[in-house]
């Protein structure tokens, strides 16, 4: 099937999958026993006000009506109200998602670049010491639970050496946090940088082992293939052969990128808590405890959607780079 048909069939599948996830999450959270309102009642809110709230958000109607209205609102951009703070979910969540993404995006990308470089190097030194032990440090930091790496980092760098603040995203005296400046300027201040350093390093330390390991296995495998030996025999100089090697070895690593991102979002909860980073992770935990399911539902949907969309993008990229996938033998 030609490339266009391949892209078309993949996009149809993606949209169908997104819809499926939305439905699954909606019904799953509705079935959870105990809702926010029970907690309110438990904290002594009067019966009348609880009933009024239930009425306001239409929680008495049969489930499918709620579902129908939820989907329509969702598609038109209104993703419901946070029960806790009575604020539209999107408003409440927007900045927090941005903060989390600022941390995870660059960290995972950097861990992939580092992983590919180290994996590529150790893979190419076949049989040498570095191939056998080159990855041990990354596997070590990769297997430490992230909150422990975070705590050890804080104790060493913040506690003893005191070169970095222990937590938070901005210092009190950060002049840009005032509201007259554009909101994004604060993110480029030096103060933000020193707050950003430790969490960034923790994420990189935790998630570099995966790309490094997979890259090394691929490099070793590609170097053993017949076409690589054929390239050598046709007299290709080292530089060109290296380019061919990277072209082949990098493909599977790229497909792992979305999976690492989702794992990182999962692991972020602990890191945000330790570093007091106002990201989505810890907010999600509090929302779950408070049974604020519109927020939880929306965040879960975002995470799942991120996985599905990035898999779609990677598939298209893969189809584009590797002709065997998208062009069938005539």
Partner 1 sequence: MVRNNLSLTDFGFADHYVVRNLVGALKLMLEDKATIVYFSYLVFVLLLGVFGPMLAPYPYDKTLYVNGEILRAAPPSLAHPLGTNNIGQDVFSRLLYGARPTVITGLLGGTMIIGIGMSIGITAGYVGGRVDDTLMRFTDIVYGVPLIPFAIVLVSLFGIGFLQSIVIIGALLWRGNARVLRSQVLQIRERPFILASKAAGASRTRIVFKHILPNVAPMAVLFFSLGIGFSILIQATLAFLGVTSPFIPSWGVMVRSAYNSGLMSQMWWWTLPPALMIAFTVLATFMFGRSYENIAGQSNENAFAQAG
Partner 2 sequence: MTESDPILETRGLEKYFDQNTSLIDTLLRREDEKVQAIDGVSLALHSNESQGVIGESGCGKTTLLKTLIGLYTPTGGEIRFRGNDISEFDRSDWKEFRRNVQIIFQDPFDSLDPKLTIREALQEPLKIHNISNQEERIRNVLEQVELNPPEKYLDRFPNQMSGGELQRVSIARALILEPEVILADEPVSMLDVSTQASILNLLSELTEDLDVSMFYISHDLSTVSYVCDRINVMYLGRIVESAPTTQLLDDPQHPYSQALIDAVPIPDPNYGRGYTSLEGDVQNPVGIGEGCRFRERCPERMDICEKTPEFIDMESMDAHQVACHLHYDHPTDEGTEDENTDEIRAKTEVST
Partner 3 sequence: MSEPLLEAEDLTIQYRTENGMLTAVSDASFTIESGEYFGLVGESGCGKSTIAKGILGGLDDNGKITSGKVRYKGTEIQDYDEEKFNEELRWEEVSWIPQGSMNSLDPLQRISEQATMIAQVHTDLSKEEAVSRIREMFDIVGLPQERVTDYPHQFSGGMQQRAIIALALFLRPSLLIADEPTTALDVIMQDQVFKYLNEIKQGGDIGMILITHDISLVFESCDRMSVMHAGQVSEVGPVDKIYEEPHHPYTILLKEAFPDIRYPNRELGVIEGNPPQNMGEVDYCTFVDRCPWAVSECDQHAPALEPVDSEGSHPVACVRRDEVLEKYRAENDQTAQVEEER
* Binding footprint of partner 3 on the chain (CB under 8 A): 126-127, 225-227, 229-238, 240, 244, 247-248, 321-324, 327, 329-330
Nearer to partner 2, 12 or 45 (CB): 12
Measure the CA–CA gap between 299 and 102, rounded to whole angstroms. 16
Structure tokens belonging to residue 273: 């808590």
Residue linked to tokens 């499926």? 20
Question: What is the DSSP track for 289-310?
Answer: HTT-HHHHHHHHHHHHHHHHHH
Closest separation in Å from C-beta 27 to partner 1: 14
92-130 burial: b if 16+ Cβ within 10 Å, else e: bbeebbebbbbbbeebbebbbebbbebbbbbbbeeeeee
Closest separation in Å from C-beta 310 to partner 1: 12
Nearer to partner 3, 69 or 241 (CB): 241
Show contacts with partner 2 in window 5-24 (CB under 8 A): 9, 12-13
Single out the segment in contact with partner 1 by CB under 8 A; choices: 44-52, 61-69, 87-95, 211-219: 211-219
35 scored as a contact of partner 1 (CB under 8 A)? no
CA 111 to chain CA centroid, Å, is 13
Question: For residue 187, how many C-alpha atoms fall within 13 Å in the half-sphere facing its CB?
Answer: 10
Closest separation in Å from C-beta 117 to partner 2: 36
Among partner 2, partner 1, partner 3, none, the one that 327 touches (CB under a kind-dependent 5 to 8 A) is partner 3
Measure the CA–CA gap between 66 and 29, rounded to whole angstroms. 13
Measure the CA–CA gap between 110 and 240, rounded to whole angstroms. 25
Which residues are registered as beta bridge partners of 81?
88
Nearer to partner 1, 21 or 246 (CB): 21
Among partner 2, partner 3, partner 1, none, the one that 118 touches (CB under a kind-dependent 5 to 8 A) is none
225 scored as a contact of partner 2 (CB under 8 A)? no
Closest separation in Å from C-beta 9 to partner 2: 4
Closest separation in Å from C-beta 190 to partner 1: 23
Residue of 59, 71, 303, 321 that binds partner 1 (CB under 8 A) = 303
């Amino acid at each position: 099937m030609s490339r266009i048909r391949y892209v078309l069939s993949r996009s149809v599948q993606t949209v169908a999958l997104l819809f499926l996830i939305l439905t699954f999450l909606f019904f799953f959270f509705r079935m959870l026993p105990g809702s926010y309102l029970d907690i309110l009642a438990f904290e002594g809110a009067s019966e009348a006000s609880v009933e009024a709230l239930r009425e306001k958000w239409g929680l008495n109607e049969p489930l499918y009506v709620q579902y129908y209205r939820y989907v329509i609102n969702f598609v038109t951009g209104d993703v419901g109200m946070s029960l806790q703070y009575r604020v539209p979910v999107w408003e409440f969540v927007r900045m927090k998602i941005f903060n989390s993404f600022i941390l995870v995006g660059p960290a995972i990308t950097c861990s992939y670049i580092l992983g590919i470089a180290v994996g590529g190097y150790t893979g190419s030194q076949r049989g040498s010491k570095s191939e056998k032990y080159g990855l041990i440090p990354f596997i070590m930091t990769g297997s430490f639970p992230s909150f422990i790496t975070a705590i050890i980092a804080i104790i060493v760098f913040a506690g003893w050496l005191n070169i970095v603040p222990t937590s938070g995203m901005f210092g009190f005296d950060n002049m840009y946090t005032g509201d007259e400046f554009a909101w994004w300027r604060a993110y480029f201040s030096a103060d933000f940088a020193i707050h950003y350093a430790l969490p960034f390093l923790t994420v990189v330390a935790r998630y570099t082992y995966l790309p490094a390991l997979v890259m090394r296995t691929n490099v070793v495998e590609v170097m053993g293939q017949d076409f690589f030996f054929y390239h050598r025999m046709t007299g290709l100089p080292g530089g060109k052969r290296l380019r061919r090697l990277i072209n082949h070895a990098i493909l599977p690593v790229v497909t792992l990128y979305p999976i690492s991102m989702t794992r990182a979002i999962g692991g972020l909860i602990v890191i945000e808590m330790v570093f007091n980073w106002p990201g989505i992770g810890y907010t999600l935990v509090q929302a779950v405890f408070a049974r604020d399911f519109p927020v939880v539902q929306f965040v879960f949907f975002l995470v799942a959607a991120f996985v599905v969309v990035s898999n779609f993008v990677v598939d298209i990229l893969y189809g584009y780079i590797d002709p065997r996938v998208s062009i069938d033998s005539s």
